[in-house]
Amino acid sequence: MNPIPELLVDDRGPVQVLTMNRPEKRNALNNALTEALLEALRAADADEEVSCVVLTGAGPGFCAGADLAEFKDLTPDQPHPVERRAELTMRLHQVFSHMTKPVVTAINGAAMGGGAGLALAGDLAVMAESAKIGYPEVRHGIVAAIVMPNLVRQIGRKAAFELLATGQPIDARRALALGMVNRVVPDAELMTETLKLAGELAAVSRPAMATTKQLFYQVAETPFDQALAAGRDANRRMRGFRK
């Protein structure tokens, strides 16, 4: 008897839906799910049949963050497993911006800690009305370390520090107001609206989307004059794709 997969992969035309599949654990990230996500995102980016990826969670939660049952074994006297897990987590959160294809997160329920990081790691995010998002690490005596850079870049310092320092979750409307997500929709309409948005992205010219995404993340972290130069270079490259 085959075990239930940690990650479900469902191709819907040019849109590939990745569903974290540990509903009994609120899709908490153990090593197996983290590795499966990283491999699936890389595979989707390399697959000529896929133009857009949707990431969501099975059951009532999007992702509860790190699997505490697994993390209890990551202690200072075992440096190699600790280092391996930190490296794996970093690579997962890094892969989204390195992909050439857009990723839309469908936040169907609570997204906490590392799960909040995943919710924001996508290029676009659609959030169910009842969902919440938060960074509770500080309340457990730890730090939301790997997910911090993306949060600070997306919503600004004051709001980001409040979320990180208080550990208090916020609702979907507040997340929308802060710019953490693009849209808030009724729970029952989440996947319909997300797949509609993903379909629009999938219909865009592949070279245009890849260049847009690459340039977007480049200019977001680059001084203005350098960003303009990068834009000029992309403009020159893209003229080669025009018929």
- The catalytic site residues sit at 137
How does strand 124-128 pair with strand 103-107?
A: parallel
Six-digit token string for 96: 């989204």
